Amino acid sequence: MDINWAEVLIGFLLGLTPLVGRQIYTSIKFYRTSRRKFLGTFWIYHRSTTGDGSMKERQINARYSLLFGKLLVQTAPMSGDPADPTLSYMGNISRREGMVRYLTLNDPSSHEIITWYVIDPLFDPFDRTVGIYLALDLSGLPTSGPLIMSRTRMQLGEADTIIESHVLKVAPLPHS
């Protein structure tokens, strides 16, 4: 019995057509949307929830996954922070929801899950944007606060000044 290798090869390639077509469609769809402005390396600045409330920075890397069809985010390890030596977060960036994007991150080695809500600037590319984070800290207590997402690394004092100028301050509720 002779095997017609040309027919086998053509059948194999025809079987791959839907998979390849889906990947091409996903790539075109991605590059036509505004999500590409979130690709690359960013610096996140926020206040620490451990005691003194000092300004902290964290580097994140965002890339597009053709396999999953979404933006994936991974944090780089923080150097020199004894309070947070091992947490390394992984997650994704949502589609645009109004003027906001959601970054959902979790640390595989702990229970900690963080959600960042950042304003999605209309212009592309953007240098920085502000937002808030919501999380459970390492003690399991809820916490939130302002954050900055920046393409360039800033001095902690500069980040502190920007956060102070962009944060809406609300008076505490009166005690009865």
End-to-end CA distance of the chain: 92
φ and ψ at 166, to 5 degrees?
A: -105, -10
Q: What share of the chain is helix, strand, coil (3-state, %, to 5)?
A: 25, 35, 40
Looking at beta carbons, which pairs linking 138-141 to residues 24 or more positions away fall under 8 Å? 138/50, 138/110, 138/112, 140/111
Q: How far apart are the C-alpha atoms of 86 and 101, rounded to whole Å?
A: 26
User: Per the confidence metrics, is the pTM higher than 0.75?
Assistant: no
119: helix, strand or coil? strand
Enter the CATH code of domain 35-166.
Answer: 2.40.128.20
Q: Where are the domains of the chain?
A: 1-32, 35-166
Question: Tell me, what's the pLDDT at 116?
Answer: 87
The amino acid at 41: T
- How many angstroms separate the most distant Cα atoms in the chain? 92
| Alpha-carbon span 120 to 167, nearest angstrom | 16
pLDDT truncated to tens, each residue of the chain (176 aa)?
788 888 889 988 888 888 888 777 766 665 555 556 778 888 988 887 777 778 888 888 888 776 766 777 888 766 555 555 556 777 877 777 778 888 888 887 777 788 888 888 776 677 888 888 888 776 778 888 888 989 889 898 888 888 888 765 555 656 65
Upstream peptide bond of 125 is cis (omega within 30 degrees of 0): yes
Rounded CA-CA distance 15/31 in Å is: 26
Question: Angle 115-121-126 (CA atoms, 0-180°, nearest 5)?
Answer: 100
Task: For residue 86, give the 3-state DSSP assignment.
Answer: coil
> CB neighbours of 68 closer than 8 A, spacing ≥ 6?
92
